[in-house]
Amino acid sequence: MDIPPLAGKIAALSLGALPLSYALNHVSALSHPLGLALMSALILGLLFVAIYSLSPGEIYYDPLYAVFAVFSFSSVVDLLIALQEDGYAGGFMEFFTKEGEPYLRTAHGVFICYWDGTVHYLLYLAMAGAIRRRKRYRNLGLYWLGSFVMSVLVFLPGNILGKYSSEIRPAFFLVIPYVLVPCWAGVRVFNQARAPTCYAPNVVQEEQSKGILRRPVDLALVIYLTLAGFFTLFRGLVVLDCPTDACFVYIYQYEPYLRDPVAYPKVQMLVYMFYVLPFYGLAVYGLIFPGCSWLPDWALVFAGAVGQAQFSHMGASMHVRTPFTYRVPDDAWACFFGSNLLYALGPQLLAFRCLWRPAFFLHPPPGPLAHHKKED
């Protein structure tokens, strides 16, 4: 695999988080929450200056290069936090999890740190390497955008609404640029030109003339999205305290983590119900009717979002940091794991299908299209 030279430079810079965090862990001034917040802001500023001095050409070409470089540094920090909280490392980030963001010590916090320190980190290096080589990275950017936004949509409200709401410290307000910058980055990613397609008009016309029954892969995805939509609605009703017997049995016998007072699982299910469920309905429409050119982009966004969400949700449901009462029961483990794994894989398959053969989603070619043949 060809590793971009500059991706290696960013990786080396991001690994500077190891000695820096170890040194800061022994600075007594950081035992005060305000001192920690000010030091964190100073480090981010100095990091940006260092990146600019090392790679001004890449930043002028695409300012997102600096964003990915800074976030790769924070990804290493998050991985250190997760490894420390699980007992695989020590002496690095105790000061931050105690005085800065104690909610990162929850099971949900640990798993979003794992995801950020692995998946996001690799995406940052890949996208920075693409900028260095003046290559496209729009698809990677859309996947990262969905994953990042989902993490923020669940983690921040969960911190405010859950049992850690009284633990909000000054360092929490550093999330303001951490949220605004990705919003700006997302707009830039969406505005990038799409990769050109090489389908002849007759191929597009032929593909779009096929009904859903002549496209078994799309039919399977429509069935999956329909079932996943019902599952999404059901779990949303469960966390809203629906009084039906089915909801009562599910939350106590299959997924008691939804009752955890940390609030992350409740917020997660509500985000699914209000954002992912409507997308599933629109995706079914886009798979049935041709010319929905918006579907490939949004399929990538939601694939990243659901992948991140399910990784954190499934991991936290079984982690030792979750009280035993709220963990998945042993006799329901197979059902829980199977259903949640399928829920995570479906959006990935939808995104792959959209990228694999996008002719059905292209704008119809000029001229009348052939009528859809009736299916028996």
Residue among 168, 72, 157, 85 nearest 119 (CA): 72
CA distance 288 to 212: 6
pLDDT tens string 244-268: 999 999 999 999 999 998 999 999 9
Regions of the chain where pLDDT drops below 70: 1-7, 27-37, 99-100, 164-174, 365-376
Radius of gyration (C-alpha) of the chain in whole angstroms = 23
Provide DSSP, 258-278.
GG-TT-HHHHHHHHIIIIIHH
- Residue 1 has what pLDDT? 39
Residue type, 10: I
For residue range 125-152, what is the model confidence (pLDDT) as tens digits?
999 999 988 888 999 999 999 999 999 9
By the 10 Å C-beta count (0-12 exposed, 13-18 middle, 19+ buried), 155 is classed as buried
pLDDT of residue 369: 47
Q: Are 308 and 120 in contact (CB under 8 A)?
A: no
Task: Give the H/E segment covering residue 333.
Answer: helix 333-356
Contact status, residue 92 vs residue 22, Cβ threshold 8 Å: yes
pLDDT of residue 271: 97
pLDDT value, residue 207: 86
pLDDT value of residue 376: 39
> Considering only CA atoms, which of 355, 348, 351 is closest in space to residue 308?
348
Helix ranges (H only) for 240-320 are: 245-253, 264-271, 277-288, 295-318
Half-sphere exposure of 353 (CA within 13 A, CB side): 21
Q: Which of 316, 295, 363 is nearest to 107 (CA)?
A: 316
pLDDT tens for each residue of 181-226:
888 888 999 988 887 777 778 888 888 888 999 999 999 999 999 9
